[in-house]
């Protein structure tokens, strides 16, 4: 076993470690987007159900769903502020 083989083995382990870290980071981002999407959708429904009693509602369309899904609770607040300003 020469020096080149040992170097290649160490380099391969290093690349495997980097790929593993990137996959973990990607999975964390995907889980965060899923959680924000579910919370945003539930909040859109709650705002429309409870807010309908006091005159506040958010139209559910693809744009509002994307904003609520990506940003979660701050997205709902943003939609309510934008609706009252515009």
Print the domain residue range for 35. 3-85
How many domains does the structure of the chain reveal?
A: 1
pTM for the whole thing?
A: 0.66
Instruction: Please state, in angstroms and rounded to a whole number, the distance separating the CA atoms of residues 12 and 53.
Output: 62
86 residues of the chain, pLDDT tens digit each:
778 888 989 999 999 999 999 999 999 999 988 888 888 888 888 888 888 888 888 888 888 888 888 887 888 888 888 887 87
């Amino acid at each position: 076993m020469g020096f080149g083989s040992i170097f290649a083995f160490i380099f391969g382990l290093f690349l495997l470690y980097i790929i593993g870290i990137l996959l973990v980071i990607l999975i964390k981002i995907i889980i965060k987007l899923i959680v924000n999407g579910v919370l945003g959708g539930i909040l859109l429904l709650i705002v429309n159900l409870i807010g309908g009693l006091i005159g506040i509602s958010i139209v559910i369309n693809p744009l509002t769903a994307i904003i609520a899904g990506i940003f979660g609770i701050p997205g709902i607040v943003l939609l309510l502020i934008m609706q009252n300003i515009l």
